[in-house]
Chains A and B, each alone.
Chain A
Amino acid sequence: MLAFDAIIDALLPEWPALPPERRASVSTHCAHFVRRQIALAPAHVRFGIRILLIAFCMFAVLRFGMRPLGSVERQQRATALRAFALEQMPLFVALERVLRSMTAVAFFEHTDVLTAIDEERCP
């Protein structure tokens, strides 16, 4: 798993609960969507997100060592992202919000997610 995909995977909401194989395909879909959205963003936003990703990767190296980010447990990645966001650097917070919001849009419009929500409401 690429570092970018691993970051988007860690941003996926916990609700609704999805079986692992469904979550993996939703995660791939979300990473594809967010990547495409970033490519459409203005140059200064793209540049900022690139810096943010590099900064997080450096943060992850300090936290997890030289392991590929994709090999780190999803929960650990999510915790690291939260800790990173808690650094409260306004620029990073704004850019993290961009990644998270695009991930949320792709996630909550994925058929598997909508099905899981329906199943949860009407078991």
Chain B
Amino acid sequence: MTGATTIQGPTTLTCDALVIGTGAGGASAAATLSDAGVDVLMLEEGPYVPIDQSPQRLSETLPILWRCGGLTATIGGTPIALAEGRCVGGGTEINSAIFQRAPDEVVEGWARANHLPGLTPEALSPLYDRAAAAVNASLTPGDLGPPTEILRRAAEVMNWKVTALERGRRESSSPRHQISGFATGAKQSMSATLIPRALLCGARLVANCRVDRLSFQGRRATGAVAAATDGQGRRHRVTVNASQIFLCAGTTQTPSILLRSGVSKNIGCSFQLHPTVRVLATFPELVNAPGHELPLAAITEFMPGLRFGGSVFTLSTFGLAVAEDWSVRERYLPEYGHCAMYYAMIRPDGVGRVRSVPGLAEPILSYRLTERDWRRLRDALSLLARAMLAAGATRVIPSMRGHPGWTDANRVEPDLRYGLLRDRVALMTIHLFGSCPMGGDSDLFPVDPWGHLAGFDNIIVADGSVLPSAPGVNPQATIMALAYHATDSYLGARH
């Protein structure tokens, strides 16, 4: 890739703007800055994998593109398994590229709760449009296959609202990717869109380079100290001198870098996520067909508090679902073609914490659901199970260990009358945010409405960590919009 820098020994690099992290926020910031002629250096902890060489199978992507091989979970209360990207492009390389704007009422709620009078749906709208254009967010034409049809049928029977999902995609006739259902090269992740654009405009990129800490002189950050790993696995110290820092390392790593750098006020203590509960549904007809691994619709009747959608369903993800409760579900393996997986995702009140522990490479993530969240999850599971049975499922198996599944919708409510079994339910999430939330009061919030880190003159945070709370939808579009907002205001002030 043009602009990709290889580190072969101890190195000192100098730039105008150092962008740490290349996910949705970092890539949006880097492309905007380099478009404007700023000398940009991007540092990415993970590897660069060219889009045409992107691995096809989950077992190949997990060790390369996912943080900790995908084996991360929160602690405290019921563990919640979580997924994060760790590669050039960040989470946009491993997600389904669903593009959704935060609902207006959520944005208005953020403005009220976090003292952000300038944050309005109208103000965000052009920024969302820009993000949508960058990834060519669009509806997938043609037959979307049985998994999508099932969701539509469930919504129709229950008289609920269903919405087609836009994805960052472009037309391609190549074979479809086994994991995401995209044609090879069709997914418009950051490594396919904004990162090449930034590099074309002169930005530099160092992959496999982990930032240890930021360096400071008074209220100003002077750069960062990092360690780059070369092709032979040797580590080299990298010192970066920069006049402006854009911290875009993601919801868990941004607070972790700040904590390692000695910045702790309000950092990492309001970590949030979208708790998600899943069901495995079996149908009499064949519901899996190559190219239709991901349902491209969502039931939005209960938005923003609750959303139903479908999960990527391949043989290996089916194996993952079966592994949640092997003794009960192993018998369904041969029925793979008749199974599909759907989820209910809630917008919770629970808050967690990101802690950096000396000696540990990864932060410790703690999270606890509130009693209200547990009730919402229980209600969500009940609604989803009944909807799937109404849509023709012969059995709906919740992600609760030891549960044989429901075949009769009338059994769901009585079964859940005492709530979810907290030591048996398997929760997961792929959406993380809010660990350094933006707000109008620097005593309460670590980041101001323009992304500036409180107490410092030249650090802007632009990633999922600045979201004030759960958006109730895939956060990529909002992260990109807020990164544009922060970068535009920086460029405006600079000029």
Binding site for B on A (CB under 8 A): 13-16, 33, 36-38, 40-45, 82, 85, 90, 93-94, 97-98, 100-109, 114, 117, 120
Closest Cβ neighbor of B335 among chain A residues: A15
A92–chain B nearest beta-carbon distance, Å: 12
**Max count, chain B CB within 10 A of own CB: residue among A42, A45, A82, A107:** A42
B236–chain A nearest beta-carbon distance, Å: 21
CB pair B361 A97 closer than 8 Å: no
Complex contacts, A98 vs chain B, CB 8 Å: 71
Closest Cβ neighbor of B59 among chain A residues: A109
Instruction: Kindly supply a per-residue 1/0 record for chain B positions 64-100, scoring 1 wherever the CB is within 8 Å of any chain A CB and 0 otherwise.
Output: 0000111111010001000000000000000000000
Closest Cβ neighbor of A98 among chain B residues: B71
Closest Cβ neighbor of A29 among chain B residues: B59
CA distance A101 to B330 in the complex (A): 12
Is B327's beta carbon under 8 Å from chain A? Answer: yes
Contact A108:B319 (CB < 8 A) given known A37-B71, A38-B71, A42-B71: yes
Contact A15:B71 (CB < 8 A) given known A43-B360, A43-B362: no
Closest Cβ neighbor of A91 among chain B residues: B79
**Max count, chain B CB within 10 A of own CB: residue among A82, A101, A120:** A101
Sorted nearest first, the 7 A-B pairs with minimum C-beta distance are A104-B319, A40-B69, A101-B323, A41-B71, A100-B323, A42-B362, A108-B319
A111–chain B nearest beta-carbon distance, Å: 10
A45–chain B nearest beta-carbon distance, Å: 6
Complex contacts, A33 vs chain B, CB 8 Å: 59
Contact A37:B315 (CB < 8 A) given known A15-B334, A97-B324, A101-B323: no
CB pair B75 A101 closer than 8 Å: no
Is B62's beta carbon under 8 Å from chain A? Answer: yes
B326–chain A nearest beta-carbon distance, Å: 6
Is B318's beta carbon under 8 Å from chain A? Answer: yes
A98–chain B nearest beta-carbon distance, Å: 6
Contact A101:B423 (CB < 8 A) given known A44-B364, A108-B318: no
CB pair A40 B360 closer than 8 Å: no
A7–chain B nearest beta-carbon distance, Å: 14
Complex contacts, B326 vs chain A, CB 8 Å: 82, 85, 100
Complex contacts, A103 vs chain B, CB 8 Å: 323
CA distance A44 to B330 in the complex (A): 29
Complex contacts, B58 vs chain A, CB 8 Å: 105, 109
Complex contacts, B403 vs chain A, CB 8 Å: none
CB pair B334 A97 closer than 8 Å: no
Complex contacts, B71 vs chain A, CB 8 Å: 37-38, 40-42, 45, 98, 102
CA distance A101 to B316 in the complex (A): 9
Complex contacts, B59 vs chain A, CB 8 Å: 33, 105-106, 109
A42–chain B nearest beta-carbon distance, Å: 4
Contact A37:B63 (CB < 8 A) given known A42-B360, A43-B360: yes
CB pair B69 A105 closer than 8 Å: no
A73–chain B nearest beta-carbon distance, Å: 19
Contact A42:B333 (CB < 8 A) given known A94-B79, A104-B319, A108-B316: no
A67–chain B nearest beta-carbon distance, Å: 25
Task: From A36, A93, A104, give the contact of B322 (CB < 8 A).
Answer: A104
Residues 309-353 of B at the A interface (beta carbon under 8 Å): 315-316, 318-320, 322-324, 326-327, 330, 333-334, 336
Complex contacts, A97 vs chain B, CB 8 Å: 323-324, 426
CB pair A117 B315 closer than 8 Å: yes
Is B220's beta carbon under 8 Å from chain A? Answer: no
Closest Cβ neighbor of B315 among chain A residues: A108
Complex contacts, B68 vs chain A, CB 8 Å: 40-42, 45
Contact A109:B322 (CB < 8 A) given known A15-B334, A42-B72: no
Is B115's beta carbon under 8 Å from chain A? Answer: no
CA distance A43 to B356 in the complex (A): 13
A75–chain B nearest beta-carbon distance, Å: 14
CA distance A105 to B58 in the complex (A): 7
CB pair B319 A101 closer than 8 Å: yes
CA distance A43 to B71 in the complex (A): 11
CB pair B63 A13 closer than 8 Å: no
- List 11 A–B pairs whose Cβ atoms lie within 8 Å, in order of A's numbering: A13-B333, A36-B63, A41-B68, A42-B68, A45-B73, A101-B323, A104-B316, A105-B58, A105-B59, A105-B316, A109-B60
CB pair B316 A109 closer than 8 Å: yes
18 further interface pairs, Cβ-Cβ under 8 Å (given A90-B423, A117-B336)? A13-B333, A14-B330, A15-B330, A15-B333, A37-B70, A37-B71, A40-B71, A44-B360, A45-B68, A45-B72, A45-B73, A82-B327, A94-B79, A100-B326, A101-B323, A108-B319, A109-B59, A109-B60
CA distance A99 to B72 in the complex (A): 13
Complex contacts, B375 vs chain A, CB 8 Å: none
B329–chain A nearest beta-carbon distance, Å: 11
CA distance A82 to B8 in the complex (A): 50
Closest Cβ neighbor of B402 among chain A residues: A88
CB pair A13 B72 closer than 8 Å: no
CB pair B323 A104 closer than 8 Å: yes
Complex contacts, A14 vs chain B, CB 8 Å: 330
Complex contacts, B322 vs chain A, CB 8 Å: 13, 104
Closest Cβ neighbor of B69 among chain A residues: A40
Is B57's beta carbon under 8 Å from chain A? Answer: yes
